[in-house]
Amino acid sequence: MTKMIEDNPFVTDQELTRQLKVSIQTIRLDRLELGIPELRERMKLMAERSYDQVRSLPLHEIIGDIVDLQLDKSGISLFEIKEEHVFSRTGIARGHYVFAQANSLAVAVINDEIALTASADIRFVRSVHLAEKCIAKAYVRSISGQKGKAKVEVFTYVGEEMVFQGNFVIYRSGGEDSVEGGQLV
């Protein structure tokens, strides 16, 4: 169990129950015995670790909670699907929330004062449902000095299963293009 939590600190007690085929009480008692905090505490500890500060967006404009960020390299955010994020009839998350988490992380990982999405090639792999936790992982694949663009790849998972993939081209303010009022000029 310790190895599983080290490999994926966002794993829930319920997921551990399914994987280890034991009761939820066993998981909780074992976690307590091993001194492993519950998921919320683990998330809080990760968020408190030192990571780079977002430069391109105010934190309140980011969809999801950033738990790791290395500017111009990579980032991770966590977003729990709540009642207000789903269609009432089906309990399936509205796609724009899953996209918004990935898009805001792609922008946040850029080490510039202003970064805007130029284009996005996206793919929804499967539906996301109420109460599922989306873990988005962004990777800066290339930074081009010319025309001030960066390419960022984002993968979103629920547990171990990929649910979304996006390839984003992000305009950077440090390039030759200029940005005014959120519009590329």
User: What are the boundaries of each domain within the chain?
Assistant: 2-47, 51-180
Assess whether the region 2-47 and the region 51-180 belong to the same CATH fold.
no
Class of the CATH domain delimited by 2-47: mainly alpha
The C-alpha atoms of residue 10 and residue 90 are separated, in whole angstroms, by 25
In which band, very low, low, confident or very high, does the pLDDT at 177 lie, cut at 50, 70 and 90?
very low
Class of domain 51-180: alpha beta
Is the sign of the CA dihedral 29, 30, 32, 37 positive or negative? negative
110-127 per-position pLDDT tens digit: 999 999 999 999 999 999
Q: What is the pTM of this model?
A: 0.72
Backbone angles phi, psi at 57, to 5 degrees: -140, 145
Stretch 91-105: mean pLDDT, rounded?
98
